Amino acid sequence: MSIRDVAAAADVSYQTVSRVINGHPSVRTATRERVLATIEELGFRRSVTAHALASGRSRSVTVLTANTTHYGYATILQGIEEAARGASYALGIGVLETADERSVRAEIRRAADTGGGLIVIAYDPAGVRALRAVPAGLPVVGVVETPASPPGADRPWVWTDDRAAAHEATRHLLALGHETVHYVPIPSSTSGTAPRTAGWRAALRSAGAPEPRRVQGGWGPAAGHAAGRRLAADPAVTAILCGNDDLALGVIRALHEAGRAVPGEVSVAGFDDAPGSAYLTSSLTSVRLDFAGLGRAAFALLHGVVEQAAPITPHPVSVPELVVRESSGPPPDAP
Amino acid sequence: MSIRDVAAAADVSYQTVSRVINGHPSVRTATRERVLATIEELGFRRSVTAHALASGRSRSVTVLTANTTHYGYATILQGIEEAARGASYALGIGVLETADERSVRAEIRRAADTGGGLIVIAYDPAGVRALRAVPAGLPVVGVVETPASPPGADRPWVWTDDRAAAHEATRHLLALGHETVHYVPIPSSTSGTAPRTAGWRAALRSAGAPEPRRVQGGWGPAAGHAAGRRLAADPAVTAILCGNDDLALGVIRALHEAGRAVPGEVSVAGFDDAPGSAYLTSSLTSVRLDFAGLGRAAFALLHGVVEQAAPITPHPVSVPELVVRESSGPPPDAP
DNA sequence: CTGAAAGCGCTTACAG
DNA sequence: CTGAAAGCGCTTACAG
């Protein structure tokens, strides 16, 4: 069924039907209502394909991401979907399987083929590379780590201030009396210093705490476990900050296996406040980041870019909040 | 840039370009190569929109699901994405916010508007309702719980045998010497008996174990925690099977708070084998389900339906595997 | 093996 | 306020 069928049934030309479904003002009220009634009656739905081809606009957004299952990524996706659905935008997903330049470009092409806007999650090398490689002219929004310097208005980016969050978590542990805080990082997205690392380091420095040797990190509990084993072997370690809650899970497990009590002997704090973290034994002190809000903000920004409505300002979306639970406490030798 | 530009540059008609990009056989090799070279040189990409409009086919699939972040859902999604990308299909997502009939139908319409196939994850009332409400003629594949009876060939469904999995997990606990096994269910998707519940019950029955009173379940750790508190209060409880690992997390936490040791006093087993489960303290005995494989199978089936190639047979995708870890052991009074 | 015509279902100026 | 024409970039028969 096409607008011609509707036109015939409503006894108008198909252009008038087009005007009605596009909310064009210059249609007599009586005509509009007749057409609307006919559309309802016939169950007509405009072909999004034909609309996209004829108009050159597509009301769709594709998310480019290296991962769809990790808590942060999945929740950003959820926020984007929510906002997209609210705006009647179709949502597509393209996964960046590797950070390889060729395959990243291939994924961008595939995403661009859909004709809609792009949201790139740039938390890892693949995402960072993708965000850089998007050709000019394509509407794109980046979900990024805290930038080192404020990005220009030509960079529609959103982020949560994870540098400040790492700073706060580190300060929390130091304030409990720990001499210093070890850090198990998530993989850095670029060659520079990751914001979480930077925040942790800054907090140590301003407290005059010595900066411990770097630890090898990762994304999941297995990496946390490996890091935890090494840290557990060092009796001087009394406080560990982890780049995410999955790492913290593995670290706590390793400490437990080594017979070191949490938080009695070692305090642990995570990052993200994943849904399970409050139910771990011991429940995990963590920094809550509003990933869903971040996703919604990313879509809102893209929507602004595409419809050229609002002026675009890159901005942090929310202030992360430290949630103190059982896993952090004073060091063993505290008074 | 269109096929006309390519045609002009290659000095052929645009129909010939169309033939070349569609792999039509009747093109002279020399012509084909010239056109291909021109396409490469100009960086031409066929408009998917125009292709879809003209051909009526769209090489895309939309996943309809009530959730995108829970481990099972997210991993199925990941499997579908992988397979779709491999087949050069675009992947869309539509979330069923409520199980309300009106909004479910609205989501189906939105998904159908894209012109591609549908995969519906029917693990919950919203998904089940959506799968039922898809109008005939639309290519659709269902990812379902183990069906009570084998579905007909007109129902392209995939599933893992979670009934057998629940049976096996229950038998494992009984074999350790427990008198019976309590079950904390995930919400059932329909009014009938859920397959996990059925498998658990069948195992109890065939072992002659008494069936305990039903426990209120849910999806997340909070629900597990609530259920766990109630179960912890009953000293007769020595073994608990949970409908997923998140529930188990909450249950273990509640047992811990009540001072009941796992597995010393109470054994706990989960379902899904989520990535963190092996790193919990105690590490969780769980049933591993191949959700990614399920997603890939769902896409393969849809691909078959859309291209009308393979004959469609609904089928279970893989055999779940029980992973025994620390959280399950003999009951306290065992010899 | 290759070209000319019609059409997919819309939108976008252009008339009136 | 409403209609007739051209076009978006392809595909699908139909000729030759």
| Cβ contact B69–A71 (<8 Å) | yes
* Separation between the CA of B11 and the C1’ of D16 (whole angstroms): 19
Predicted confidence pLDDT, tens digits, chain A (335 residues) = 889 999 989 999 898 999 999 988 888 888 899 999 999 999 999 999 999 999 988 899 999 999 999 999 999 999 999 999 999 999 999 999 999 999 999 999 999 999 999 999 999 999 999 999 999 989 999 999 999 888 888 889 999 999 999 999 999 999 999 999 999 999 988 777 899 999 999 999 999 999 999 899 999 999 999 999 999 999 999 999 999 999 999 999 999 999 999 999 999 999 999 999 999 988 999 999 999 999 999 999 999 988 876 666 767 778 899 999 999 999 997 55
Exposed e or buried b per residue across B148-176, where buried means at least 16 C-beta atoms within 10 angstroms of its C-beta = eeebeeeebbbbbbbbbbbbbbbbbbbeb
pLDDT of the residue at B314: 67
pLDDT of the residue at A25: 84
* Interface contact B80, partner A, CB < 8 A: no
Name the nucleotide nearest B2; use CA and C1'.
D9
Q: Is pLDDT above 60 for B238?
A: yes
pLDDT of the residue at A311: 64
Q: State whether residue A251 is helix, strand or coil.
A: helix
Nearest to B276 among A246, A278, A283 (CB): A246
* Interface contact B57, partner A, CB < 8 A: no
* Interface contact B212, partner A, CB < 8 A: no
A105 touches strand C (CB under 7 A): no
B243-256 pLDDT per residue, tens = 999 999 999 999 99
Nearest to B246 among A88, A256, A276 (CB): A276
Helix, strand, coil percentages, rounded to 5, for chain A: 45, 15, 40
What secondary structure letter does DSSP report for A45? -
pLDDT of the residue at B231: 98
Q: How far is B322 from chain A (nearest CA, A)?
A: 20
CA torsion B195-B200-B201-B203 (nearest 10°) is 120
* Separation between the CA of A50 and the C1’ of C12 (whole angstroms): 14
Q: Is pLDDT above 70 for B334?
A: no
pLDDT of the residue at B102: 96
B96-140 pLDDT per residue, tens = 999 999 999 999 999 999 999 999 999 999 999 999 999 998 999
* Interface contact B75, partner A, CB < 8 A: yes
Q: Which A-chain residues 225-244 have CB contacts (< 8 A) with chain B?
A: 225
pLDDT of the residue at A127: 97
Radius of gyration, CA atoms only, chain B: 25
Longest dimension (CA), chain A: 88
What domains are there in chain B, each with its CATH number? 3-46 (1.10.260.40), 58-160+290-318 (3.40.50.2300), 162-289 (3.40.50.2300)
Q: How far is A104 from chain B (nearest CA, A)?
A: 13
* Separation between the CA of B1 and the C1’ of D13 (whole angstroms): 25
- The amino acid occupying position B277 is S
B299-318 pLDDT per residue, tens = 999 999 888 766 667 677 78
Residue A270 pairs in a beta bridge with A286
Q: Which of B102, B119, B127, B103 is nearest to B189 (CA)?
A: B127
The pLDDT > 70 percentage for chain B reads 98
pLDDT of the residue at A309: 62
Between B289 and A149, whose confidence is greater? B289
Among A21, A225, A281, the strongest candidate for a mutation testing the B interface, having the largest count of B CBs within 10 A, is A281
Residue A299: CB atoms within 10 A of its CB come to: 27
pLDDT of the residue at A104: 97
* Interface contact B69, partner A, CB < 8 A: yes
* Interface contact A315, partner B, CB < 8 A: no
Nearest to B95 among A74, A85, A275 (CB): A85
